[in-house]
């Protein structure tokens, strides 16, 4: 009985993408971890000494989930977009498309590898955070679920960006000009309850608020929005990405032209 998915094809794409991570270990893992450590030093020590607690949690511990989400979001998009853009740029994408593998297997290989890198990075940052601040994880299974779900969702989004981009500039513009500002304004370093009432309502239109809020709830049992709403928003965005990718493979947009 044959499997519905070509495991050998998925494994080949996945292993190739993961091998690139180990070849660029400093850029892929070390650089984000060092950057996040600097955030702990600057925000945790400098600002944390002036802010006692936020929602009953020490400020240093409060920013841990936000910093992990900030890194996971940006790296998921970067890994997935670069992973599919390079075959398009070099022309090797035509070899992949002409091989006896389905669109589903291509997506599993590329997106699975990008998500795996982000999950590894998130766990490394989580371990690094223990060096700087003590914290507890109230709901570890929910934390793991949010980490995996966020990595997969934004890897799918990055896959779309990698197909859309027709140059290096476009490959970088959305993460730098859109995603990173939304992450900073999404409650990474503060609770939106600290904002004036008008800006609290405005912040609810930021989709990253729901990700960070749900992830923070898994640590401390406190959140800006209901955890169920956070999960619903994440699944909704994932569904939109899946529909967009399905349409891209159906029409061949940016793949065959």
* pLDDT tens-digit readout, 203-241: 888 989 999 999 999 999 988 899 999 999 999 999 999
Q: Can you give the pTM of this predicted structure?
A: 0.89
Q: Which residue has the higher pLDDT, 129 or 47?
A: 129
pLDDT of residue 44: 64
Residues 192, 76, 35, CA angle at the centre, nearest 5°?
Answer: 70
Assess contact for 32 and 71: CB atoms under 8 A: yes
Calpha distance 245→163 (Å, rounded): 9
Calpha distance 94→98 (Å, rounded): 6
Domain boundaries, the chain: 7-251
Residue 150 in this model has a pLDDT that exceeds 90:
yes
pLDDT of residue 257: 59
């Amino acid at each position: 009985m044959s499997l519905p998915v070509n495991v050998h094809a998925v494994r080949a794409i996945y292993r190739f993408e993961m091998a690139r991570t180990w070849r660029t270990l400093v850029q892929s893992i070390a650089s984000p971890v060092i950057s996040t450590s600097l955030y702990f030093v600057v925000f945790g020590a400098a600002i944390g000494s002036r802010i006692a607690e936020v929602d009953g949690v020490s400020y240093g511990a409060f920013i841990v989930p936000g910093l992990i989400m900030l890194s996971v979001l940006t790296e998921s998009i970067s890994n997935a977009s670069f992973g599919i853009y390079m075959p398009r740029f070099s022309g090797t994408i035509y070899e992949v498309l002409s091989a006896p593998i389905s669109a589903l297997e291509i997506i599993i290989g590329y997106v699975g590898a990008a998500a795996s890198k982000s999950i590894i990075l998130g766990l490394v940052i989580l371990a690094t955070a223990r060096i700087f601040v003590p914290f507890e994880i109230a709901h570890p299974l929910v934390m793991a679920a949010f980490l995996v779900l966020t990595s997969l969702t934004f890897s799918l989004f990055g896959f779309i960006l990698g197909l859309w981009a027709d140059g290096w500039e476009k490959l970088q513009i959305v993460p730098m000009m859109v995603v990173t500002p939304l992450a900073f304004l999404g409650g990474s370093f503060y609770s939106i309850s600290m904002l004036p009432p008008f800006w609290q309502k405005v912040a609810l239109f930021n989709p990253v608020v729901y990700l960070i809020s749900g992830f923070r709830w898994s640590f401390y049992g406190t959140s800006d929005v209901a955890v169920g709403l956070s999960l619903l928003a994440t699944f909704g965005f994932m569904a939109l990405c899946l529909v967009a990718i399905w349409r891209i493979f159906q029409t061949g947009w940016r793949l065959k032209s």
